Structure formats: structure tokens, C-alpha cells
Amino acid sequence: MFTNRRPRISIAHLPTPLEPLPRLTALLRGPQLWVKRDDQTGLATGGNKTRKLEFLVAEALAQGADTLITCGAAQSNHARQTAAAAARFGLACTLVLRGHPPAQAQGNLLLDGLLGAEIVWAEDAPITERMEEVAESLRAQGHRPYVVPYGGSNPVGVCGYVAAMEELLAQAAREGLSFDHIVLASSSGGTQAGLMVAARVLGYSGRILGISVDLPADPLRRRMAELATATADFLGLPLSFAPGDFAVEDSYLGGGYGVIGEREREAIRLLARTEGLLLDPVYTGRAFGGLIDLVRRGAFSSQERVLFWHTGGVAGLFARPTLE
């Protein structure tokens, strides 16, 4: 494993399950559908950021940090997992969240407080700028903060999904499976970038399709190309990536980031009622809604096998009890 050369700590429950979706496959009459259960990584309801945090927290501890700082939306799954990792390793945690405090803490925000994180609201300021101000303030007080980037998406964090792709291919080989397509929610780009780095090295010939939840395709492709190239360099791999190497579908942005529409509601209800599997309202709900639409439009043949990479976020459901 080429990520072995980088510091890593054990947090996630790995390997995560690889499961078929037989009832939904039969209902949609399309390709054979499977799911990779990174909602089961085990860190305060799990999610994909846990894999990234195995590398990020290892670096923080190696640097002698006493505080983790990160940023995100009010219902950030990444912020909640960062808070949980900090608690597990005896670190303080400050979360810089977009906007203003809500009247009531629910979902991920409720868990952030339970996990002991300090919440700083960015209000009208850009969250990355506010995060740097918080970090400088802590340094001035004698603390040693480690700044975890938005989504954990830098070359250190992306190593988590380089390793994840290797895990998937080993699982598939043991079970005699191959996947023609891998479909996932793509936002900060780190998960898809890591999968692509490993796919290039390990010779995976299928398509990795990111369904964007907030950005148009072109800027997202550019971000991922830069991130994948930087990650390969970080790992000592002689690889470079161009935007055209990344498959991105941006037709399902709907009303914008975090705005729940009928596509997300249908996907959440359909997967729950056919397979007993929960999606979140922002990321996997949107991405799986896109996958359902692609199946219905005949984008995949019935002979193909399609893997949906479930990136977690189920705690966000409990901030939207009516899925309005």
C-alpha cells in the first residue's frame, strides 16, 4: 500500500461493507446496483471524512497540536467527524461554521456540542478567513492549533481515499466482483480525487462519476485535477491529472447547496423503503437521486454493475424531520 509511507492512526472501522441492492435493482430494472458503506466508518455516526482524518490527525499529533480547527456549513458532516476525532485523541476542537446560530441545535450541530467542540459562527465573513483568524488568536494564547481544511481535502486528507480505493479493489477481487462504474457525491473533491489517484496506479478501468452537490462541473474538475496531482506528488507517485480526467455530472444541483427538492426526497424514501438504508439530505440524497435518474434514462446497461459510494452524513436527517 503506497500510503503506508505516510503517518496514519486507526479511527475508522475498516474495511467498510460492500453490499448489493437487489430490491432496488429489480425495481429500477437497470444495472446491478451495489453500495460501499462508508456511512459505517464508526466515528460519531460515521462518514467519509473519517478516512481522511486518519491521516490528518496523525499529522496533527506528530506536530504536537493541542487543538483541531476546521470549517463548514451549520450541518457539516466533516465538522462533526473532526469534533469526534478530537475528542477521541484528547484534543480541543473549534468549528467555524457558516452563517448565524439557529434557534435550536439539531442533527450534526447537536452532536458537535455533545462532542465538546467550541462553535464559532462566521456570520457574514468568509468561513476560511474567519478560521484563520481563530487559528491566529489561539496561537497568540499559546495554543498549537492544527487547521484541517474544508472537507479535509488537501493531499494529506486525500490519502484516505487513495487507501480506500485499494481497499475496494481488494474486496471486489475476494468476492469475484468488478464494477463498471463508481458513483459518489462530489463537493470539496477530495474523495473523488483520491479514488482517481489509486485507480490510475492500480489499473482500474471503470468510470468514477462524481455527482456535484454544489459546484458547476468545470471548476470542480479543475479543483480535483490540482488536488489529485498534488496528492500523487505528496505520495511520490509520478502522475499528473488534467480536468478532463474527471467525470462530473452537474445536472442535479437543483435549488443549490443544501436545498432539498423532490429528487432528494424521492431518493431518500426509495432507498429506505427498498433496502432499509438511510441517505443524508445534502450529499448522498442528491447524488443517489442523480443515480436513479441516470438509471431511468438508460445511462447504464442492464449487464453493468454500478457501485454507489455512500459517504455518510445520516445525522443531517435529524435536522430536517419533515424533509421539507
Grid cell in block for residue 265: 426526497
Beta carbons within 8 Å of 269's beta carbon, 6+ residues apart:
none
Q: What b/e sequence results for 48-63 when a residue is b if at least 16 CB atoms lie within 10 Å of its CB, and e otherwise?
A: bbbbbbbbbbbbbbee
User: Is 76 a residue of the active site?
Assistant: yes
β-sheet with 32-37: strand ranges across:
18-20, 32-37, 305-310, 181-186, 207-212, 247-249
Distance CA 67, CA 116 (A): 12
Q: What count of Cα atoms within 13 Å lies in the side-chain half-sphere of residue 38?
A: 26
Helix (H) or strand (E) holding 248: strand 247-249
- Residue of 73, 28, 78, 19 lying closest to 48 (CA atoms): 78
Tell me the torsion sign for CA atoms 104, 106, 112, 113.
positive
Let me know: does 47 contact 41? Beta carbons within 8 Å.
yes
Distance CA 116, CA 114 (A): 5
Entry field: residues in the chain: 324
Catalytic residue among 76, 186, 187, 212: 76
Question: Distance between CA atoms of 155 and 234, rounded to whole angstroms?
Answer: 7
Q: Which residues are catalytic?
A: 76
